[in-house]
Every structure is written in C-alpha cells, then in structure tokens.
A and B are shown apart, each in its own frame.
Chain A
Amino acid sequence: MAKQHITTTINGEETEYLCEPQETLLDVLRDQVGLTGTKEGCSSGDCGACSVMLDGRLVCSCLVLGVEAEGKTVETIEGMADGDELHPLQQKFLEEAALQCGFCTPGVLIAAKALLDINNDPTETEVRYWLAGNLCRCTGYDKIIRAVMDTAADMRGA
C-alpha cells in the first residue's frame, strides 16, 4: 500500500512522517519518529502504557492510526519536562518512588497530567478511577495514587 505523508506537531515541533494506513500512532512514534518513551504493553487498549495526548485528548496510541494525527498535535512523555526541569508529577514520582521497573510510568504520567489539567483537586477515588486504564505490575498502585494526590496538593499550594 502507498505510504501516506503526514504532517503533525509532536511535543511542539512540526514533524513529518510517511506511514502505512494500518500503522498505529504507537508504531509510528516508536519506529519512525524514534520517540520510544511511549510503551507498548498490550496493543489492545487494556494497559495504558501507550497513553499520549492527541489534540488535548487522552488516548491509547495503540488504538489510533498514525494517519489520524494529520494536522493535529501529539504530546508524549518526551515533551513533559521543560528542558532539564521535570514536570511536578515526574519530580514527585521520583521523590516518592512511585515506580519500580518504570514500564507503565510514561503512560501513567501522561494520564495523570491529563487529569490534573482539568481537575487540580481530585479525590482519591477520582484518581483511582481515572488511572484505571493504566496497569502497573510492580507498585501495587498505592504509591502512584499518593504521588498524584501530593502533586495536586503542591500545585494548588503553589
């Protein structure tokens, strides 16, 4: 099949790639653009390791085709820190050891940021429900939830 030429904005930078119609946004990000921070856990929408923002919407990039990014903006984990300065969520995850192997972490951070962007005072239940689509096989979730709650508290205080 003829590859399609896609122009999109990834982490603020205009980016072009050629992709087959059946390539997912996750395939493209990892294999063509070289942004391997976004992970593939299941490719069936279950694990959230592939979470990215597409035009400001939280999506599983394994369920979105690469061509769907045409003319849109994509935000991935690579764009989360501001240069050397970590996003408050990243900083808090480090301080509170909210990760072990780290495989789920990029997706969790993207999803958690999406929540805090619309609600900086979530209840614990809201955080748990929001992150239900992000599976973690290591931490037992508790530290993740705490880190998100603590970041929200800091951000409100700031």
Chain B
Amino acid sequence: MEHLPEMHLQHPATVEEAVKLHAAAPASRYLAGGSDLLVNIRRGIERPDSLVYLNGIAELHTITDGLEQISIGGAVTLRELAESQLLRKPFSAVAQAAGKVAGPSHREYGTLGGNLCLDTRCVFYNQSEWWRAANNYCLKYRGDICHVAPGGKKCFAAFSGDVAPALLLFDAEVELAGPDGRRRIALAALYRNDGMDHLTMTRGELLVAVHVPKIPAPVRTGYAKSRVRGSIDFPLAGVAVRLGLQDEKIADLRIGLTGVSPLPFLVRGLDKFVGRKPDDACLEELREVVRGQAKAMKTTLTPPHYRRRVAGALAQKLAESIF
C-alpha cells in the first residue's frame, strides 16, 4: 500500500482550540480513531493538508448521566458505548449497534463522532486510486458519471454507520462547535439525502457530543444488521427498532435504517400500527413497509433487492423478539 502523504498534525487540548486550528489550514480534517479517515487518505479519496487530532481533548471523552439526558462525548469509543451501563434498557439499541461495528480492534479505537460523521460508501468509491482511475473515477470524486445510476447526476453511496439509526430512535441531538460558537441540532438534521454531500455540518464544525433525552415510557429497543461476514463487515442493511406495548397493543413504534441510502433515517408512516396487536399479520405488514422504504441501490456487491428484503425481514424479526 502507498504511504500516507505528507500532512501537518495538530494536537489541541480543547474543543475551541481544535476549531481554531481547523480553520487555520485550507484543507483540514478532524482525526479521531482514524479507522475510516486514514484508510480514505491512503486511497486518495481524501487529501487533507492538516489533521486536527481529537483524542487529546478531555471534554470529548466523557459520558454523563444528566437529569433529563445522557450526554456522550464525540471521542467516546465504540467499545465504551457497547459496554456502558448507562446504555442499558431502554437504550439497548445504541449499545448493540456500537457492539456490532467492525471487529474488536476497530471498536477499541473507533469513536462515536467518527461513526456519525462517516463518509458514505460505494463499491465504486472505496477502492484504491488505481482501481478508481482504471474505472474513470465516478461522480462522487473526480469523475463524470455514476456507475450505479449512469443516467443521473446523483450519487447514491450509502451511509453505513451502525450507531446513527439507533440514536434516531430517541430524538437524539448533536452538539456542534464551529467558528461561530456552539449549536445543537437534531441528529436527523445532521444528514441529507446526497451521497456526495451527506452531512449538513458547515466546514470546520466539530461534533462535541450527542445528547439522548431520557424517555419515560417503558419501551424496548434493539439493533440488527445484515453483513457479508456475520462478525465484522459494514451493514448491507442495519435496522434499529423501538417498540412500546400497552395492553398488548402497540403504543410506540419507531424504526431507524442505515446502509440502504445516503442517509440514516426513521421509517415513515408507522402510526397506522399503533393500537394494533403485534401478531403475524401486523408484523408482516410492517416488514413490507420497511422494505418499501429501504431503497438500496447497487452500491455493494450484494444485490439491492436482497438488501431491501433483508431490511424488512430484520425489522420483523427484531419487533418479534424484542418483547
């Protein structure tokens, strides 16, 4: 493999210092665990001149149990998330999703911030420089056409982070720090449906923390994913389910999806299931609703129709097994 190109490396001690250092160089990137960024730099799909290293910032490493919310720092590792006592019921889906990212060494070093800000993925994009060059590149970087949908001008590279759909179940908010100070937005508002530009953060914004409001209702949640090897790969489809029952009828239902489109999102139109018994007919209908919205494209070697079907099937199974 190629060596990494020459870069500056900055070691800020505070969030504000990091933001300043980021703004000082024209093509800076924040570096957390590096398990996505360093690979992309090596493949030539990222060309930063300067990296701002986040792991030395104490504020980013804390998980705090507040009165109304749990706050998780941007550089908390996936292993810490998976093992956190604070993320037990009803937040199990978050810990499960973190525990299903990659393999043990990646979870040891990969962070929540890196997982939420992960670049979108496509079989025509996550390749070496010579591979992409031989294929005339593609729209997402340096090329003129999309090999997945050659007629159009849109990129369908799939957001494939596991943790985002689980956090979407809880109306989580992200705290961002930028040159103009800090702001909080809904996690859902961090993303847009564009594989080339899927993050709405403005340049130089740093994800400081995720705030997860505590929920009063007795709901249960879980996360499941389909992948090529059951032990390590990115999701072909990832499904987070939140289900609350009252008198054996569905009182609360949310489903988050990842890996099937350029952004993680909550499935729409689930209100019609509220008040119904989660019997076989109901869950089969649910499966079809999920399948209909999991519009996977040809961005993996596994065919899209499989990813659509498996998204529905995973949602059905999770909803069945959660209680």
Contact = CB atoms under 8 A, between A and B. Distances in A.
A60 interface: yes
A111 B51 contact: no
B231 A1 contact: no
A132 B8 contact: no
B3 A27 contact: yes
Interface string B226-248: 00010110000000000000000
Contacts of A44: 1, 39, 42-43
Interface in A100-142: 111, 114-115, 128-130, 132-133
Contacts of B39: 44-45, 63
Interface string A8-45: 00000000000011111001000000000000101111
B4 A24 contact: yes
B105 interface: yes
Interface residues of A, number: 33
Given A22-B4, A67-B9, A132-B103, A59 B109 contact: yes
A59 B109 CA distance: 7
A43 B6 contact: no
Interface stretch (B30-38, B146-154, B276-284): B30-38
Interface residues of B, number: 28
Nearest to B33: A63
Contacts of B139: none
Contact of A57 (B5, B35, B42, B108): B108
7 contacts: A4-B9, A58-B108, A63-B106, A65-B38, A111-B105, A133-B102, A133-B106
Contact of B42 (A1, A43, A67, A133): A43
A51 interface: yes
